[in-house]
Amino acid sequence: MSDEATSRAKWLILPVLIFAALAALFAFQLIRGPSNTLPSTMVGKTAPDFSLPPLAGIQRDGVALPGLSKADLIGPVTLVNIFASWCAPCREEHPKLIELAKDQRIRLVGINYKDEPDNARRFLGALGNPYAAIGTDQAGRAAIEWGVYGVPETFVISRKGQIAYKHVGPITDDSLKGVLGEAITKAINEKE
């Protein structure tokens, strides 16, 4: 084999090696599972200033649910769940939200992200409404203020209105037994 042929063969095998290395990296990430601990610059800070209108037509016990604002996050420990009807993982986590809503020590509220109101109402009508309040963020501006990467995301808010923890992705049994559950318990047990 000539030097030129050897050189050409090296250049032809290089893309294959790069592809193999990337495939190995992706396989490792898939095996390891998703990371729900993306860093958030918001943790430890006061919740952003926002005011969202209610999702019209949603009621609980015959009373229309209110919208959501920063002022609503002071008092009880609050979970702010960012959701959308078009989000498959939101549908996946919904039974966990229904369970969390039964816990009298916390208040579960939602921000409906870039969704059509009719679709959001159908979503909640089919799966149940776990939220004490729902703000609509059709333009996605409030989500930007919150530092949302995508839906679903859930924030644990202390009694003082500070973001104690940010959970990225659907809530699962494992996350409730792990860091998310620990963050909720810590916020509940925190002295005012």
pLDDT band at 60 (very low <50, low <70, confident <90, very high): confident
Q: What is the mean pLDDT of residues 98-106?
A: 97
Q: Answer whether residue 65 shows pLDDT above 70.
A: yes
pLDDT band at 36 (very low <50, low <70, confident <90, very high): very low
Cβ neighbours of residue 107 under 8 Å, at least 6 residues apart?
A: 75, 76, 77, 78, 79, 132
Q: Among 7-11, 34-38, 92-96, 136-140, where is mean pLDDT lowest?
A: 34-38
Q: Answer whether residue 56 shows pLDDT above 50.
A: yes
What was the pLDDT predicted at 154? Answer: 98
Q: Where are the alpha helices (DSSP H) in the chain?
A: 3-32, 88-101, 117-127, 141-146, 173-177, 179-189
The whole-angstrom separation of Cα 190 and Cα 192 is: 6
What was the pLDDT predicted at 29? Answer: 59
What was the pLDDT predicted at 35? Answer: 47
Q: Which of 128, 40, 137 is nearest to 84 (CA)?
A: 137
Following CA atoms 88, 101, 66, 55 in sequence, which dihedral angle do they give, to the nearest 10 degrees? 20
